[in-house]
Amino acid sequence: MRTAQVTVDPAFAIGAADRRLFGSFVEHMGRCVYGGVFEPGHPEADADGFRTDVLGLTRELGVSVVRYPGGNFVSGYRWEDGVGPVGDRPRRLDLAWKTIETNAFGLHEFMTWAARAQVEPMMAVNLGTRGVQEACDLLEYTNHPSGTALSDLRRKHGAEQPYGVRLWCLGNELDGPWQVGHKTAAEYGRLAAETARAMKLVDPSISLVACGSSNRGMPTFASWEATVLEHTYEHVDYISAHTYYDPSDGDQASILASAVDMDSFIREVVATADHVAAKQRHRRKLRISFDEWNVWYQSRLQADLDRRGWVEAPALIEDTFTALDAVVVGDLLVTLLRHADRVGVACQAQLANVIAPIRTRTAGPAWRQSIFHPFALTARYARGTVLRTEPVSPTYPTARYGDVPVLDTVAVHDEERGELVVFAVNRGDTDLALDLDLRGLPRPSGQSHLTLAAGEDPTASNTEAEPDRVTPRETTTPTVDGGRCAVRLPAISWNLLRFATRP
């Protein structure tokens, strides 16, 4: 059996585990909204048409913030279509996903749903086909108390109190040629700066996210960030990053190492932002909003789009995730936590049905996909201060990333509660013996070891018929002797190790 060592010490602090790292995403795409979070007439729908089974699973998932309404959808969206009496709302062509949008679910429905789901709303404005005025109008309608035409219109529509949305995205993926309203970096940077200035005049309390690159492989990557931030650095609080990892080619070794790419992506965006800060003499460090990330079998998308005409809420990229995919998602969460000093927001895309941890059947049940579990457990237990771990690990070869470590880890220490949690991923196809050095912590003692292992059957998945086929399993409680702990990490596994610490 291969061996690895990790040192965990509270002196190696990175930063606080921000609750906004455990965000999700609801876009008007496929059946994420219609048939996902919203299905009037469903046996478990409440009086407002929200599926209570999905609400319950959203709360169980531990989602903290939800980005809405897109995504590509927002770049052609008129927010006014989604307010006022539902019977008066127009039906529109959605150019992003080639569907008909009924607008039965809009701003008020989302805000009501978010309150019931106990999540913070994160709104995106359309900077694809619209601009400064429309963004300010939406902000005034949403956040201004009363006494103006738009705030009083909100009150007329039934929301007496302002919604007080604090997080706003200045468009979506406008570096992408697929985007309605695609722009150059200079075009977008100037528009984003103008919009940011105006929005903060309307409500100075808000935080703004400028569009970064759609993925690290874009030909304009880094130069896009540099140009955009030269326009916007002093006006925004975050730069966005998006990435998806596609297992379709069957390269298991590389897909298991996806977090290596995410790690590089974050470091390179940070370096670019810090370059602009130095150039413009800013003392404030900009943070990243990693507001789209997941595993996604992207090769299936075009077939989904080509095989139908203009219809309402078609099934779209409803990927069934495997046990191996769950290990990859758990490792991506490890990476986000490891950069907690610079990543302040993260949203897994999406919440329901569309490449999602929650799947539903129209008029039927909802169930947890394999990727639900590492997200839910990380959100539940990653509380306190993120610690940099010091692993010594064997490596294995990959076609995409060269030789990468078999082991990936991060730790989170809650000094007040007296708890240490170590997240450990074994990317290798054989078991790994892990030696944990915990001598820097006060009187550590083992509490539990949960593992989600894919080594025996990487293709196993949860379905409506077998909703609990892939779940984390409790294994032997870790034993600490003299501040050291030896545990076995199964092949291709995500692991959560809990320890009590007592001063």
The catalytic site residues sit at 173, 292
Give dist(CA 423, CA 496) in Å, integer: 5
Q: Cβ–Cβ contacts within 10 Å for residue 361, how many? A: 12
DSSP state of 127: -
Contacts of 330 (CB under 8 A, 6+ apart): 374, 375, 378, 423, 425, 452, 494
Contacts of 371 (CB under 8 A, 6+ apart): 294, 295, 321, 325, 326, 329, 357
Q: Cβ–Cβ contacts within 10 Å for residue 11, how many? A: 7
Helix axes 52-61, 107-117, angle to 10 degrees: 60
Residue carrying the six token digits 């909703």: 467
Give dist(CA 294, CA 337) in Å, integer: 15
Q: Cβ–Cβ contacts within 10 Å for residue 42, how many? A: 20
DSSP state of 417: T
The token pair at 198 is: 């105006």
* Omega prior to 71 cis, within 30 of 0: yes
SS3 for 66?
Answer: strand
CB 354 within 8 Å of CB 26: no
CB 39 within 8 Å of CB 30: no
Contacts of 291 (CB under 8 A, 6+ apart): 23, 25, 67, 122, 169, 209, 240, 241, 242, 345, 346, 347
Give dist(CA 458, CA 324) in Å, integer: 5
**Across-strand partners of 244?**
294
CB 430 within 8 Å of CB 420: no
Q: What contacts 24+ positions apart, CB below 8 Å, involve 59-62?
A: 59/117, 59/118, 60/376, 61/24, 61/357, 61/358, 61/372, 61/375, 61/376, 61/379, 62/22, 62/375, 62/376, 62/379, 62/380
